[in-house]
Structure 1
Amino acid sequence: FMVVAITGYGMATFEGPTLSLKNVNAIAHFTDWIIAHVHVGALAWNGFMAFGIIYYLIPRLFKTKLHSLPLANLHFWLGTLGIIMYALPMYVAGFTQASMWKQFNPDGTLVYGNFLETVTEIIPMYWMRAIGGSMYVIGLLILVYNIAVTIKKGSKVEDELAEAPALERVTKKRTAGEGFHTWLERRPIQLTILATVAILIGGII
């Protein structure tokens, strides 16, 4: 799950600055390309990252094993294929829209003057998008079932004592030769004040 999440993050963050370029934005603006871009980030990066965290943490929090690894694998493939079937048709739809909106007659009027002409052209892509989204949601429902049964099988620990190593005393030997920044990091109030001043100066400039 995390591999797909990081892949989605990389794709979305690379695509974002690319879309800020004037010649690229001229194609993508107002089209379903933007829908595809946003959902790669939302479904792959945010969604799959959350799924991976849930699958990792819940069994450990409830001191048990995941109810069904095959169901988790099924969720993974449904979600991954769902993202692909959702995003790719939207990219195609975006290019189709941009191409149709930029077609002109010799007299300068639009070849496709009626907005519905572009909508009807991309209906097949919308059907594929619906199928992909449905696959993703089915995968999510599988996760809910799998996690619910896992929690039911497990046992929650009440009032578990937290343990942490004692803080080391800051001695002169430890601070000998430290620079200003290291000194400042040990003083959160001073660091906050100076950081705020730096931000304000940067904002004014």
Structure 2
Amino acid sequence: MILDLLFPNRCIHCNRIISPELLVCNVCFDQIHFTHYDFSGNNPVREKCKLLFPVENTYALMQFEEQGLSRKIIHELKYRSREKAGKILAEWTAERLDFRDKTPDLMVSVPLHPKKLKERGYNQLHLFTETLSILYGIPYHHELIKRNHYSKAQALKDREHRLSTANAFSLTQAVTGKHILLIDDVFTTGNTVSSIAWEILNAGNNKISVLVMAMDL
């Protein structure tokens, strides 16, 4: 296409021209620090979650590093209108994540407040979740959880506000007897995931597992 010739897709790290369906070139891809966590075993995400709520299994695709390529990838997805990056991240996840006999019943992603959704134009987790749903054959529910309060970008919050997540989320309908995979982009303090997890756990006989794009160590 003419637009592809005039504005070719470029690697977000080195600026080399690459295929339209890629985020990074092959050389830069090797610089991404994938975690290779075992979904059913112990890993840093699970250890942190266990301090906050009862958790079944956990997985993080990448290590989140301030000066690393994973940060650039997440930034492109969230703030530079690269919604399609979610599909690529999901494909990378499916190549590495094996649920084995621990396959969840339902995928639920962290919601945006309607005002934030209107500002950004999309939820950065939706295409990621929808692609995983197709690849693994697990249904998803984007409206199960709602965010009750509008807040500024996480990166702009001070630590006190990051830790304040009381009554931040609520369920839109009853759910019980489900193993729910809760999906977020970056796991830092775990307070957002914990707040949602307790809403789901308190609603009935449910179990929670966690999947994140990146783990901030």
TM-score by length of 1: 0.19
Question: Which one has a larger percent strand, Structure 1 or Structure 2?
Answer: 2
Larger relative helix fraction: 1
TM-score in terms of structure 2 length:
0.19
